[in-house]
């Protein structure tokens, strides 16, 4: 923008074209047309790279520009290998037909690993949750990815999730415990209750993750809901 001071709270810009926009000031109640700079700072290929990087979670327009510049500066050391790895991943990455994990083979590595306990199944909302639990390394079990949570307000029902696949795996036998490792949100708990109802009558123990004080947490900084859950889930010392 050329010759325009920082916008005040409540100010709005309404674009008219590539070179003009209308600026509204809530203090004066007036409109004025402002000329916009239409100069390009890079070619269309670099601009497209920046736009795509900006869509990655955790990256905004500024971070995307810095990331693009870093890739360009490290072309041989980083940019070329990254492009090759992404092209190879596009061709080989697939969703596991058994658990819903992402891998380059189907069934995935976690499903075919003979060192894992096949009698324990950990149910998670997303692949990111599976990876987080694997980093913790607390259990050597198998997983089932739901692909989300029940959310009537968003129109997400049981048929939109991988719940039918979970029930089928339980019906096949060999699983003695299901650990519901879903988020402690309204949608997560709704999904957990629904799965519990669907598994009623099966010879399977259904458990959930403990809720309460995190490791290293201080009581004074915790919210009331977390403290209440910690007191209800207290154990013998």
Check whether residue 113 and residue 84 sit in a common domain: no
For 188, the 3-state DSSP assignment is helix
In the chain, the number of structural domains is 3
pLDDT of residue 21: 56
> CA torsion 209→215→219→223, rounded to 10°?
-40
Check whether residue 222 and residue 126 sit in a common domain: yes
72-83 pLDDT, tens per residue? 999 999 999 999
Q: Does residue 20 lie within any of the structural domains?
A: yes
Check whether residue 87 and residue 175 sit in a common domain: no
Q: Distance of CA 102 to CAs 41, 92, 106, 119, 181, Å?
A: 38, 10, 9, 22, 18
**Following DSSP, what letter does each residue of 96-110 receive, concatenated?**
-TTT--EESSSS-HH
Check whether residue 220 and residue 127 sit in a common domain: yes
Confidence of residue 214 (pLDDT cuts 50, 70, 90): confident
| Domain housing 85 | 45-92
pLDDT of residue 146: 97
Q: What is the pTM (predicted TM-score) of this model?
A: 0.74
pLDDT of residue 27: 62
Check whether residue 166 and residue 142 sit in a common domain: yes
- Asked if residue 4 has pLDDT above 70, the reply is no
Check whether residue 186 and residue 224 sit in a common domain: yes
Confidence of residue 12 (pLDDT cuts 50, 70, 90): low
The CATH number of the domain where 216 resides is what? Answer: 3.40.1360.10
User: What rounded mean pLDDT belongs to the chain?
Assistant: 85
Mean pLDDT across 69-74: 96
* Residue 196 near residue 140 (C-beta atoms within 8 A): no
Find tokens 């003695």 and name the residue: 176
């Amino acid at each position: 923008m050329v010759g325009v001071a920082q916008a005040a709270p409540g100010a709005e810009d309404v674009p008219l074209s590539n070179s003009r926009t209308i600026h509204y000031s809530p203090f004066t109640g007036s409109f004025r047309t402002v000329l916009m700079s239409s100069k390009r700072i890079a070619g269309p290929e670099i601009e497209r790279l920046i736009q795509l990087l900006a869509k990655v979670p955790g990256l905004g327009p500024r971070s995307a520009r810095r990331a693009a510049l870093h890739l360009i500066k490290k072309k041989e050391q980083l940019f070329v290998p990254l492009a090759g790895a992404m092209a190879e991943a596009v061709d080989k990455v697939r969703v596991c037909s058994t658990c819903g994990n992402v891998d380059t083979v189907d069934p995935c590595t976690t499903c075919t690993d003979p060192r894992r306990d096949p009698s324990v199944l950990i149910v998670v909302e997303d692949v990111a949750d599976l990876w987080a639990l694997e980093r913790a390394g607390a259990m050597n079990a198998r997983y089932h990815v739901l692909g989300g949570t029940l959310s009537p307000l968003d129109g997400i029902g049981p048929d939109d999730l991988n719940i039918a696949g979970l029930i089928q795996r339980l019906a096949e036998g060999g699983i003695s415990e299901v650990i519901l490792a879903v988020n402690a949100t309204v949608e997560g708990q709704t999904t957990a209750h629904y799965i519990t109802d669907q598994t009623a009558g099966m010879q399977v123990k259904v458990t959930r993750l403990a809720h309460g004080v995190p490791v290293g947490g201080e009581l004074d900084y915790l919210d009331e809901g977390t403290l209440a859950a910690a007191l209800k889930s207290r154990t013998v010392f």
